[in-house]
Structure 1
Amino acid sequence: MRVGKRSGRARGCLRALFAALLVTAIAAPLSAATTHPGIPAPRPARLPALTAATLHSTYAANRADAARAARMAAAHGDSHRAAADRALAAPARTLLTFDGRGAGQATEVLGDLSHAGHIAVLVPGSDTSLDTYARFHKAAAALYADLTHRAPHGTRVAVIAWLGYTTPATVSTTVTTTTRADEAAPHLRAFVRDLRAATEPGAHLSLLCHSYGSVVCGRAAPGLDADDIALVGSPGTGADSAAGLHTRARVWAARGSDDWVAHVPHVRVGLFGTTLGFGTDPVSPAFGARVFDAAGAQHSGYFTPGSASLANLARITLGETSEVTRV
């Protein structure tokens, strides 16, 4: 009996140790979390169902919402948020969704969505909000530039920056659980369904999921109408294997040699009624994904122009799977 109690205590200590390591490994290399005080913004506009015919009216309505949000943020004294909203309200921006409340959400299109034969949806990780949206847009723009350069003549492409959920803070316990991903997953599935209604029949659709965004993609994967799912800089997906994602999509994974996420313990442990961690490492043979080359990418460097990772993400988006450099 005494041995059993000792064994139970030891298991408990190990679980706590794994949890502490996981929190430290994810949070320590990054800056402190961004806070989002009660910034006023209009409720999102009521929009018609997304179709090719309603795209332009949708873009216009969301730009108008962003402009109103910018004025309200400025009146509230938040010049940083006002500038971010104002940038999204510019005539050249094409927003499928916009919500300026709280941390904020937005979905932006780069390219001619209604005629694109190849579409990439970028799903971001922690600490992505309207306040940090510029860096997310930069990644989407880099991919779009690479695609337009790489695509065969006559092939139309589009990139969608999907900030469609409230991302966790990097320095928080939330970033070590699937809670935010579980909340986001049905929204991502619904978005992909709507997207199919507004795009060319048979368009090739890829989800490119970074960091905690790969947890979102993992939770959304069952029933998701995508051709490819690429996980980069992933701490795990909440599944033990690619087969455990229950998706018809090809599952890819990559991690750069300079990405600190390699040091995150790939475990799942129960602690105080909560499961911490995301399970099997997506680039490990045990997971079973198609592992591709990301060379020396750092955690935030997978969409760096000219990088091996960006080139391979573009090839995946274009369906050029035989051209993807594997490891």
Structure 2
Amino acid sequence: MTGAVVVPVSAASRPQIPSPEPAEVAPLTPATLDRAYEANRANAAEAARMAAGHGDRSRAAADRAMAAPSRHLLSFDGRRSGQAVEVFGDLARADRVAVLVPGSDTTLETYDRFRAGARALHRDVGPRTAVVAWLGYETPGTVSTTVLTTARAGEAAPRLRDFVRELRGIVGESAHVSLLCHSYGTVVCGSAARGLDVDELVLLGSPGTGVDSADRLRTSARVWAARGADDWVAHVPHARAHFFGTTVGFGRDPMSPAFGAHVFAAGRGGHSDYFKPGSVSLDNVARIVLGDTSEVTRA
């Protein structure tokens, strides 16, 4: 989860919320971006009307916010817990792009907390860099059995790979792409990493990636890791165990020297603080995104 630890909202614990099918848009290119943004805002507006008619004021408000004229949505899906991919900055002209992947309990209702982190990063990196908030999968609940396994990550990984391919179709091969993964999002990124066309892979507050070393991620990206001094994830056992055909846990701690990541400082922050304005963590993440890696402070 990027941005905050929040009260779990489980799609299974509430009535199904009616919503339209996602909008059909042309393949994403610089020329089609504005039409995609318009179509997805219209879809979010319709989702808000349907949710309101269903009596779900919380979801209706979340959908209505997504439909605001200022929002740049590459995709939107108001079904179940909800998914959205939002752009901050001029994606068509960006020479650097950062993609944020959230962890558990990120839904349309809690999306603003995730969005706040993306906006804070965009303010730090400046106008020539675009930031993408990628809520492109159904995240597990923090208080659930799914958060202990790679099942949701395995479902999300093909979607993330597809998105990165789409992104390259917009920004081209010369753009520098950083994938910033938080909490359970690091499990998603670990599952998707093999052959993924990104330049930097940043693991923040990671419970593990599903493998025991950066080499086993099978990525050409430079792999980074950070954890705040007050992050509770440090106390999560970094191991894997097998129970009745299910693997629980995510392997070696990416902060471990044996994992082989470039470890950098995240200050005194807790699990929700990696994108907090003015934080050591946000400053270092911005330097990585901008390519100022010699300025990154080490843990």
Mark yes or no: TM-score above 0.5.
Answer: yes
Tell me how far 1:319 sits from its aligned partner: 1.3
Tell me how many residue pairs correspond in the alignment: 292
- 3-state SS of the aligned residue for 1:53? coil
Tell me how far 1:201 sits from its aligned partner: 3.8
Q: Indicate the residue corresponding to 2:124 in structure 1.
A: 146
Q: 264, 273, 278: which is aligned to 1:306? A: 278
Checking the alignment, whether the CA contact within 8 Å between 1:115 and 1:200 is kept in structure 2 is no
Q: Does 1:61 align with 2:39?
A: yes
Checking the alignment, whether the CA contact within 8 Å between 1:124 and 1:162 is kept in structure 2 is yes
Q: Does 1:218 align with 2:190?
A: yes
Checking the alignment, whether the CA contact within 8 Å between 1:116 and 1:200 is kept in structure 2 is no
- 3-state SS of the aligned residue for 2:32? helix
Tell me how far 1:200 sits from its aligned partner: 4.1
Q: Distance in 1 between matches of 2:159 and 2:66?
A: 22
Matches within 5 A, 1:8-27: none
Root-mean-square deviation (Å): 1.0
Q: Indicate the residue corresponding to 1:35 in structure 2.
A: 10
Q: 113, 120, 135: which is aligned to 1:135? A: 113
Tell me how far 1:297 sits from its aligned partner: 1.1
Checking the alignment, whether the CA contact within 8 Å between 1:114 and 1:200 is kept in structure 2 is no
Q: Indicate the residue corresponding to 2:81 in structure 1.
A: 103
- 3-state SS of the aligned residue for 2:287? helix
Tell me how far 1:232 sits from its aligned partner: 0.3
Q: Distance in 1 between matches of 2:239 and 2:131?
A: 33
- 3-state SS of the aligned residue for 2:247? strand
Matches within 5 A, 1:1-327: 33-36=8-11, 37-148=15-126, 156-327=128-299
Q: Distance in 2 between matches of 1:31 and 1:116?
A: 32
Checking the alignment, whether the CA contact within 8 Å between 1:295 and 1:308 is kept in structure 2 is yes
Tell me how far 1:33 sits from its aligned partner: 2.5
> Which amino acid letter does the alignment assign opposite residue 81 of structure 2?
A
Tell me how far 1:238 sits from its aligned partner: 0.2
- 3-state SS of the aligned residue for 2:242? strand
> Which amino acid letter does the alignment assign opposite residue 266 of structure 1?
H
Checking the alignment, whether the CA contact within 8 Å between 1:94 and 1:109 is kept in structure 2 is yes
Q: Distance in 2 between matches of 1:254 and 1:119?
A: 20
> Which amino acid letter does the alignment assign opposite residue 35 of structure 1?
S
Q: Indicate the residue corresponding to 1:4 in structure 2.
A: none
Q: Distance in 2 between matches of 1:31 and 1:305?
A: 19
Q: Distance in 2 between matches of 1:31 and 1:283?
A: 24
Q: Distance in 2 between matches of 1:252 and 1:221?
A: 13
How has the CA–CA distance of structure 1 residues 107 and 116 changed in structure 2, closer, same or farther, with 3 Å as cutoff?
Answer: same
Q: Distance in 1 between matches of 2:8 and 2:271?
A: 17
User: What is the TM-score normalised by the length of structure 1?
Assistant: 0.88
> Which amino acid letter does the alignment assign opposite residue 79 of structure 1?
R
| Divergent runs of 4+, >3 A | none
> Which amino acid letter does the alignment assign opposite residue 219 of structure 2?
T
Tell me how far 1:46 sits from its aligned partner: 1.2
Q: Which structure shows the higher helix fraction?
A: 1
The share of aligned pairs that are identical, in percent, is: 65
Tell me how far 1:45 sits from its aligned partner: 1.1
* Superimposed CA distance per residue, residues 114-157 of structure 1 (whole angstroms, 9 cap, x where no aligned partner): 10011000000000010101101101001111111xxxxxx611
- 3-state SS of the aligned residue for 1:137? helix
Unaligned ranges ≥5, structure 1: 1-29, 149-154
Q: Distance in 2 between matches of 1:99 and 1:32?
A: 21
Q: Distance in 2 between matches of 1:263 and 1:301?
A: 17
